Amino acid sequence: MGGAVAETPDFCPPPLSPRMLPFASCLPGSLLFWAFLLLLLGAASPQDSEEPDSYTECTDGYEWDADSQHCRDVNECLTIPEACKGEMKCINHYGGYLCLPRSAAVISDLHGEGPPPPVPAAQHPNPCPSGYEPDEQESCVDVDECTQALHDCRPSQDCHNLPGSYQCTCPDGYRKIGPECVDIDECRYRYCQHRCVNLPGSFRCQCEPGFQLGPNNRSCVDVNECDMGAPCEQRCFNSYGTFLCRCNQGYELHRDGFSCSDIDECSYSSYLCQYRCVNEPGRFSCHCPQGYQLLATRLCQDIDECETGAHQCSEAQTCVNFHGGYRCVDTNRCVEPYVQVSDNRCLCPASNPLCREQPSSIVYRYMSITSERSVPADVFQIQATSVYPGAYNAFQIRAGNTQGDFYIRQINNVSAMLVLARPVTGPREYVLDLEMVTMNSLMSYRASSVLRLTVFVGAYTF
Ligand SMILES: *[C@@H]1O[C@H](CO)[C@@H](O)[C@H](O)[C@H]1NC(C)=O
Ligand SMILES: *[C@@H]1O[C@H](CO)[C@@H](O)[C@H](O)[C@H]1NC(C)=O
């Protein structure tokens, strides 16, 4: 903008909005024009305007004509679409234009027929159609009304230049209501699956907690919280819109819903383990006392140290296993006048006078029982090894039963049963001499033999 003479306040830019300025007027190029204006408006003070000597740039409403080397008036009535609104008619004038009622007859006298204005000196009518103007090569080029502010679009509208004209359109997301563009409330159209937030010119979809916007920015897809650092201590299960924490076996979910605490299985039942329950993180285990080993998961089984070779018995000893342990016994337990006849048998030779009142043989046997057996309990059966026709056998506990914890029940004349009469608690050990007295029918023969039975009572009920 601006030219050599653009100092006086009389110059004004071409009307931005001719519709709002039906009497838009600019650039009083001549006194004649001013006289005309005074005539129209009735009151104004005349002002001087200086004539420039030459132009290199043109003021508003003029354009440079290279041929004539002068500024040439622009016919705004042609270049500005709807330069005047409605009933008003557009009157081009030097350096500007006027909108006047069609009935203003006085204008027509002046319009186009008045003497040429002294300034600018040479004016050529625009030879181009509306919205075009000649360039240096005298061909018509489009006038960009939008950049040259020759449009009447509202601030709410976008101006689009078109060949020969321009267009006022609403921006995306706006709709023309009356003269103005107003925001479209897209949320009314249910574009969003969950929630919608209207924004000037657009909208945004939002999702409920546990969901996130899908690729189309409208639908909501479940968030897999488990993949995104859900605070589950042990296991996480994604579900629609949320997630669930679970715990491994042996743990229970804390009230907070996230953390897991160990379950003390041992406190639930005293029958989980035969001997001792030991709680561990996420599980429990059963322990057995010394001399026992775990059978399956909860039972304790005696370890036969004599079988496993875990014993420390010497060559001259025999290993005897019992519940919870073992014993090394001398293989030769025979004491004078007895002599050893086999691993566990001692014999008192009849030829030895010392043997006359002694049992003719002593057989060593060992057995093991558990504590607190229900009673009466058959624990050992004694059987005569040799049966003589007409002979009779009687059985008795000869020694070792001072408390009366055992008794003998005769089964027939060749066998008897050792019965535990009272519940006993180990660890404890009995050495019982079970005597078998053999008599013939005439009672003329009497022989005694002893079974020396060691009964180990284990410390436990298993
Ligand atoms: C969704 O929104 C994002 C971020 O605003 C954008 O980059 C993307 O192009 C949008 N996708 C669609 C399908 O509109
Ligand atoms: C004892 O039993 C044996 C064998 O059964 C038999 O021969 C014998 O006659 C029995 N003695 C008596 C006294 O019943």
Q: Which of 191, 217, 218 to mutate to test the pocket of ligand 1 (most atoms within 8 A of CB)?
A: 217
CA distances from 220 to 44, 198, 240 (A): 68, 17, 11
Residue type, 171: P
Element (DSSP H or E) covering residue 246: strand 242-246
Quote the ligand 2 centre to 408 CA distance (angstroms): 19
Quote the ligand 1 centre to 217 CA distance (angstroms): 6
**Pocket (CB within 6 angstroms of ligand 1):** 215-217
Name the token pair of 458.
């284990």
Residue type, 362: I
3-state DSSP call for residue 78? helix
Residue nearest ligand 2's atom 8 by CA: 390
Residue nearest ligand 1's atom 5 by CA: 217
- Cβ(28)–Cβ(40) below 8 Å: no
Give CA torsion, residues 98, 104, 107, 108, to 10 deg: 120
Bridge partners for 161 per DSSP: 166
CA-nearest of 374, 348, 321, 379 to 448 is 348
CA-nearest of 380, 409, 376, 379 to 395 is 409
In terms of Cβ atoms closer than 10 Å to its own Cβ (0-12, 13-18, 19+), residue 217 is exposed
**Pocket (CB within 6 angstroms of ligand 2):** 387, 389-390, 392, 413-414
Quote the ligand 2 centre to 393 CA distance (angstroms): 9
Q: Structure pTM?
A: 0.55
Atom of ligand 2 lying closest to residue 389 CA: 7
Q: How far apart are CA 41 and CA 28, in angstroms?
A: 14
Element (DSSP H or E) covering residue 406: strand 406-412
Residue nearest ligand 2's atom 13 by CA: 392
Quote the ligand 2 centre to 376 CA distance (angstroms): 28
Q: How far apart are CA 212 and CA 215, in angstroms?
A: 10
Q: How far apart are CA 78 and CA 101, in angstroms?
A: 18
Residue nearest ligand 2's atom 7 by CA: 389
Q: How far apart are CA 32 and CA 114, in angstroms?
A: 9
Around Cβ 40, how many Cβ atoms within 10 Å? 15
Name the token pair of 450.
């002893």
In terms of Cβ atoms closer than 10 Å to its own Cβ (0-12, 13-18, 19+), residue 167 is middle
DSSP 117-134: PSSSS------SPTTEEE
Q: Which of 388, 392, 395 to mutate to test the pocket of ligand 2 (most atoms within 8 A of CB)?
A: 392
Quote the ligand 1 centre to 215 CA distance (angstroms): 7
Residue nearest ligand 1's atom 6 by CA: 217
- Cβ(452)–Cβ(364) below 8 Å: yes
Quote the ligand 1 centre to 9 CA distance (angstroms): 52
Q: Which of 413, 415, 440 to mutate to test the pocket of ligand 2 (most atoms within 8 A of CB)?
A: 413
Quote the ligand 2 centre to 385 CA distance (angstroms): 14
Quote the ligand 2 centre to 389 CA distance (angstroms): 6
Per-residue pLDDT of the chain (462 residues; tens, 9 = 90+): 333 333 333 333 334 333 433 333 333 343 333 333 333 333 333 344 344 344 345 556 657 666 666 556 777 777 777 777 666 666 566 666 555 555 554 333 333 434 444 444 445 677 888 889 888 888 889 999 999 888 989 888 999 999 999 999 999 999 999 888 999 998 998 889 999 999 999 999 999 999 999 999 999 999 999 999 889 999 999 999 999 999 999 999 999 999 999 999 999 999 999 999 999 999 999 999 999 999 998 999 999 999 999 999 999 999 999 999 999 999 988 999 999 999 899 999 999 999 988 999 999 999 999 999 999 999 999 999 888 888 889 999 999 999 999 999 999 989 999 999 999 999 999 999 999 999 887 777 888 999 999 999 999 999
- Cβ(115)–Cβ(32) below 8 Å: yes
